[in-house]
Structure 1
Amino acid sequence: MKLLQRQIFLELLKLFGLTVSCLLGLILVGRMLQLRSLFLSQNIGILNILQLFFFLTPFFLLLITPIATMLSVFLTFLRMSTDNELVALKASGVSLYRMLPAPALFCALCTLFAFFISFWGLAWGMDMFKTKLYYFAKTHSKFALQPGVFNKEFPHITFYAHQVDNEKGQLKFAFVRDDSIKNTSVVVVAPEAEIESTPEQALIHIVFKNGKIFRESGDELNVLKFGRYSIKLDLGKLLVGFNFSEEKAKDMPFFRLNAIRGDHDLMPGQDDRFYRKVDTEFYKRLTLPLGCFVLGMFAIPIASIFRGLRQQYGLLMAMGLFMVYYTMFSIGVSMGESGTIPPQYGMWAPNLLFVLVASVGMRYANLERTPSVIHRLRHLRLSRGKRGEA
């Protein structure tokens, strides 16, 4: 039995490492283009990109650890079932319940790992990601324009130039519109301009020469001529969508979420929706790691019941079952944040449902019986196959 448990545990570890590596690699590669598009020029080195990805890893690991746990257990027991190893073990007097210690220990370790990420790793990673991202934007980015294209990378500011030389920083027939002031629009037009970028100070100076300023406020329009006019911009504003001054619930440590739930005065001036997000995120940090254990144990009877499936079909089926779980989980998050239902109901519902199905399925798998629904589906498939041959 010790040898059996050890072999099962080692196979689970190998599949878990392979699954996590593949899923994490796919996600990070997909994020690469999105991350680099935050900058106007390509001065960010590959080492800096990898460093940013490293800080994003805890966020992705919290999402992929449950599915990696489920796939590892499912594929292991599906292979054992397909190779008739389960039949041989049961013929030797080893019941399914006696095989559970290894997968149970594996699922428990994955759950503890997910809890560590949920409680500490996620907040640390997001804090470091934002800090490094802002630093790289300030110290590595330059302001680059495309000729004949309206550039709106900076919030409330539109740039245009008919001719652009980004190497020398020279613009011909330049135009800029500033709508950052409420009810006021400022337009600067000049036949030539220069870009002076100082990343070490996180500033950009656009110097217009021999142009005009059109200032419109309500029904009033003022026109001014100038010989030299400079606009100063903050490179940090290139990070559209990243508000570093706003503290979001999803970026907070778990224990701060718990403290805010008990005392709203810790975050004064927030609306009810914010506190609902805090409650939802609190239960999310609890239920998602527990999903590793629930989904892992759920995969055992499913793999036993659907014995004989090929690996690729089994993988697709496992992914489909996980999508059911994650869809229920996402609906619970949305309904909890909107106040439709209390957050704890929506967060715990997927785990409770899958625990119930796993308990019933484990009993059927140990007795080597197939639920009537599965039996009917198989019978329907065989009937269709015979009709097709006829």
Structure 2
Amino acid sequence: MLPRSTTKQQPRARVGTPEQLEHRVDPIDDQAGFRTTRRKSASSGCSARTHPLDVPPRVVRIVHRYIFREILVPFALGLSLFTFVLLIARLIKLIELVVNRGVPLVSVLRLLTYILPAFLEVTLPMAMLLAILVAFGRLSADSEMVALRSSGLSLYQLVPPVAVFVMIAMLLTGALSFYARPWGTRSLKGALYEIARTRATAGIKPQVFNDDFPGLVIYTEGVDPTTDRLRHVLVADEREAGQRQTIFAREATMVSDPRLLTVTLRLRQGFIASTDNRGGADYQTDFETYDVNLDLRQAFAAARRDRDPKEMTLPQVRRAIAAKQASGQPYVSELVEYHRKFAIPFACIVFGLVATPLGALPVRAARARGFAVSLVMIFVYYILLSAGQALAEQELVPAVVGLWLPNLLFALLGLYLFTQVAGERTVLKLERLQSAVDMLRSRLRLRTEASS
């Protein structure tokens, strides 16, 4: 009986070149719809999963809308907080106008409206910086950033919603800087003048010694309510050092000059009794008409008479620079204001460039870290900006250097951080700083536990 012949089954031959067998790619479609790859090695027999290749556009749009909403809430809170903090000092002065000087509440609210653009020009970039740090920090703290990166979205693909938000913030800041802040500054000066003029006319009470104006005491027997004419007026003028004047007049009227921000008390038919404290001599001078200037800038700290470059819009600043260049006059203040109108809005781009990679770094306390880092960055930036502006106004450095150097420094820092985080390379200095902070915190906790 012949033995049963056995045949050994040969393995199925693989079709393809050795190079194709070495790096054979099998597409795998998971449930989320992400197309990934698995590279197999013929020599080792093991496989390694690589980064995802394609993310559906619909998923990308959903992620972008999600990130944009995450930025909105901290932006609104930060804008309210920063604006309120900067307004506190002004609010105290406005409340003083209502309580001590009898200014109507409606007028005070109008003054607040004129003040707001100057503060929003500064607080809007600050709030944007805080919002991006907090939003990306929360995504990192909740491991959502890891999930997004592992699913195929790089840091560059997460930038579009941030870029849209930064562009909106920059346009709003530019509108505030180019037009709204000059309008508010001019309107504030006019409103302060109107309040002071009204109080100067209606605030002089009959048979009362009125001392609203520094160095002057005004007394009148009566006021005609229809013509605002004062009868039998006494004025004690001690504004000049070493000399005292007492003025008596039969009648007086108020004459206002909005351009010079002054109100003049025009006295008629009276005399001036002057006393020189240094020589002890007394003089008496009769007059038919005599003017006593009531400087409203001293009474209400109004703006100076010359037009401030801060009151000019962007086209007006350009025309002022061209006019002074043609006439050979100095135009440093106008040039500084011109560069400032562009440097502040551009800070939105710089802040976004720095905040995005900083927020993407993995941390535990995302909100606290974001708030602290934003405060430090804001403090450093505006210290550099204020110093550069002061040096430029004193002509120690060119205006373009003084106003744009902070943006340049922060832009370089942002580019460095962005390339490090986007390439998944660790930023050693930040890691060392975080380790030092954690070590210090643990030591303090151990000392507290030991002392208790």
The aligned residue for residue 178 of structure 1 is 239
The aligned residue for residue 34 of structure 2 is none
2:378 partner letter: F
Which of 178, 181, 194 does residue 122 from structure 1 map onto? Answer: 181
The aligned residue for residue 315 of structure 2 is 255
- Find the aligned partners of 2:422 and 2:83 in 1 and give their Cα distance: 34
The aligned residue for residue 245 of structure 2 is 187
TM-superposed CA distance for 1:319, in Å, is 0.7
- Whether 1:17 and 2:46 are equivalent positions in the alignment is no
* Aligned positions, number: 374
Deviations 1:30-89 (Å, cap 9, x if unpaired)? 312324556995322212111111122211111111111111111111111111110111
- Whether 1:336 and 2:392 are equivalent positions in the alignment is yes
TM-superposed CA distance for 1:365, in Å, is 1.8
> Which 5+ residue runs of structure 1 have no aligned equivalent?
162-168
1:38–1:186 Cα change, 3 Å: farther
TM-superposed CA distance for 1:335, in Å, is 0.7
The aligned residue for residue 365 of structure 2 is 309
**Contact 1:39-1:239 at 8 Å conserved across structures:** no
1:222 partner letter: D
**Contact 1:38-1:238 at 8 Å conserved across structures:** no
Larger Cα Rg: Structure 1 or Structure 2?
Answer: 2
**Contact 2:171-2:345 at 8 Å conserved across structures:** yes
The aligned residue for residue 165 of structure 1 is none
1:359–1:40 Cα change, 3 Å: same
- 3-state SS of 1:178 partner: coil
- 3-state SS of 2:281 partner: strand
- 3-state SS of 1:103 partner: helix
The aligned residue for residue 213 of structure 1 is 273
Moved more, 36-45 or 240-249: 36-45
Correspondence list, 1:83-122, <5 A: 83-122=142-181
**Contact 2:140-2:361 at 8 Å conserved across structures:** no
- Whether 1:49 and 2:108 are equivalent positions in the alignment is yes
The aligned residue for residue 300 of structure 1 is 356
- Find the aligned partners of 1:386 and 1:184 in 2 and give their Cα distance: 68
1:327–1:306 Cα change, 3 Å: farther
- 3-state SS of 1:339 partner: coil
> Higher helix share goes to which structure?
1
2:119 partner letter: F
**Contact 1:187-1:213 at 8 Å conserved across structures:** yes
The aligned residue for residue 376 of structure 2 is 320
RMSD: 4.3
**Contact 1:130-1:244 at 8 Å conserved across structures:** no
TM-superposed CA distance for 1:7, in Å, is 1.8
- Find the aligned partners of 1:305 and 1:38 in 2 and give their Cα distance: 48
- 3-state SS of 1:370 partner: coil
1:21 partner letter: S
1:255 partner letter: P
Deviations 1:290-337 (Å, cap 9, x if unpaired)? 101211221111112362234234312211111111111111101100
- Find the aligned partners of 2:355 and 2:277 in 1 and give their Cα distance: 65
- Whether 1:345 and 2:405 are equivalent positions in the alignment is no
Deviations 1:162-219 (Å, cap 9, x if unpaired)? xxxxxxx9xxx9954132xxx98333399xxx999999x9968699xx9983343985
- 3-state SS of 1:11 partner: helix
**Contact 2:204-2:210 at 8 Å conserved across structures:** no
1:132 partner letter: A
- Find the aligned partners of 1:38 and 1:114 in 2 and give their Cα distance: 30
Deviations 1:101-153 (Å, cap 9, x if unpaired)? 001010011101111111111211212221222112222455589xxx99684
1:289–1:385 Cα change, 3 Å: closer
The aligned residue for residue 344 of structure 2 is 288
| Identity between Structure 1 and Structure 2 (%) | 22
Correspondence list, 1:17-96, <5 A: 17-35=76-94, 37=96, 42-96=101-155
- Find the aligned partners of 2:384 and 2:112 in 1 and give their Cα distance: 28
TM-superposed CA distance for 1:383, in Å, is 4.0
- Find the aligned partners of 1:306 and 1:322 in 2 and give their Cα distance: 22
> Which 5+ residue runs of structure 2 have no aligned equivalent?
1-59, 220-229, 448-452
Task: Identify the structure with bigger relative contact order (alpha carbons < 8 Å, sequence gap 6+).
Answer: 1
- Find the aligned partners of 2:430 and 2:181 in 1 and give their Cα distance: 40
TM-superposed CA distance for 1:351, in Å, is 0.8
- Find the aligned partners of 1:233 and 1:41 in 2 and give their Cα distance: 24
- Find the aligned partners of 1:346 and 1:205 in 2 and give their Cα distance: 46
TM-superposed CA distance for 1:94, in Å, is 1.1
